[in-house]
Structure 1
């Protein structure tokens, strides 16, 4: 048994990353990461290489040594208290497809000039080199005052067609066809995809996978208004309790 599980758990602690945050960076399921940390499962070599490269740790150290906090923080002898010399974190620059540019995007995304002319955002996101932002256009992905509103900005990572099948069912995705740019939940089968909105009265769209020219798996959202974080289950239970009380009153 390697030290991989212990080490990635310590890395998360040092980097102040939750299991969910860590999983997103490396395209892992949270349950899979938990299995690694609890030493119930060993990772694929591709995963080991990604994590080692990302945190600049040798694969040998990651697997065979229980790393210390000092090693993970990489303390240096040339540490300085002069803040002018301390490197500043710079948020990556992400191109954004605004609502006004959505009609043009399906026919122009292969045009380098068009892509370079897109408005730019500077945001704290992972994998900026394969990310693209989109401005939400409508209320299709809103239900019971929750979800994605017009002017919200969603950011997706580009997914190759061979990897569509690896997406979790119901993943939020932006799909690009010859004529349309569609933001919905995606459910893939062997040869087709069904796209669902959060509104139950809007019909699903089913199309062959071959018609998808690009797919962006949504990983971040920047809201135009403060979301309502009230627990939906708690709210539904309260409504059910009120309905039961009304029934009792009627039956008296």
Structure 2
């Protein structure tokens, strides 16, 4: 039985509706509902939207997930957890402002990483961190972290990464880079390669491929900052290898030369 047919039959019975009653609610014939539940036909998009709205679920859930008692129990639990912890596992943090009430960007130097692990939730500790402003970063809460180690080359050790605070686990996106503060790993700058919502786990990878990808549980995450800018005293070195465009140009020029030589012969 297909997902749509199974879900439709389950949801109809869960709401104690007969096929005729459901058909009346959707303004279709009872035989149409029977065809859908027996997997002999599939509803069009417009009707799918009506069904999803009737059952108070999303269309994506209706057509993509096996809906049953276990599914509902899991969803209710997640909803309760979100109600009790609206930040999705991440907390509201302490900030500092200047004399004009503009938020500062606090800097966490590499040598202060261990101290930040202990004092990140202490407003007094945060207030003592170095502070600065970047005029092109507006509309969020930002913090800067000095990198140590070579796991994120080509960003050199000593580079300062400025991150925007992420309030909710669900806002973390695969493929983006983040500064992650966690109980076991401390402060790391990594690329999120996969976010698994079911058990709230992050897969973190280094851009330097000699380092292995690893995972951390969301419950161990203390802070997450999405990388928005970096400051470095190391300038990029020019590439010694020609670009694809340059190589194509060289080949074309060589072909013209060969043709010209043949013509002269």
* TM-score normalised by the chain length of structure 2: 0.48
- How has the CA–CA distance of structure 1 residues 113 and 193 changed in structure 2, closer, same or farther, with 3 Å as cutoff? same
2:129 maps to 118
Are 2:175 and 1:170 aligned? Answer: yes
- Quote the Cα distance in structure 1 between the aligned partners of 2:217 and 2:242: 36
- Quote the Cα distance in structure 2 between the aligned partners of 1:222 and 1:232: 26
- Quote the Cα distance in structure 2 between the aligned partners of 1:224 and 1:201: 24
Alpha-carbon shift at residue 173 of structure 1 (Å): 0.3
- How has the CA–CA distance of structure 1 residues 111 and 162 changed in structure 2, closer, same or farther, with 3 Å as cutoff? same
- How has the CA–CA distance of structure 1 residues 137 and 128 changed in structure 2, closer, same or farther, with 3 Å as cutoff? farther
1:89-110 deviation per Cα after TM superposition (whole angstroms, max 9, x unaligned)? xx97421000011112122100
Alpha-carbon shift at residue 194 of structure 1 (Å): 0.7
1:72-116 deviation per Cα after TM superposition (whole angstroms, max 9, x unaligned)? xxxxxxxxxxxxxxxxxxx97421000011112122100011100
Is the CA contact 1:92–1:124 (under 8 Å) kept in the aligned structure 2? no
Q: Following superposition of structure 1 onto structure 2, how do residues 209-224 of structure 1 map, counting pairs within 5 Å?
A: 209-224=218-233
Is the CA contact 1:159–1:215 (under 8 Å) kept in the aligned structure 2? yes
1:192-247 deviation per Cα after TM superposition (whole angstroms, max 9, x unaligned)? 11110012221112111221111000001112111236498927x97xx9xxxxxx
Tell me how many residue pairs correspond in the alignment.
143
Is the CA contact 1:174–1:181 (under 8 Å) kept in the aligned structure 2? yes
Over alpha carbons, which structure has the higher Rg? Answer: 2
- Quote the Cα distance in structure 2 between the aligned partners of 1:104 and 1:97: 9
2:161 maps to 154
Superposed CA RMSD: 2.9
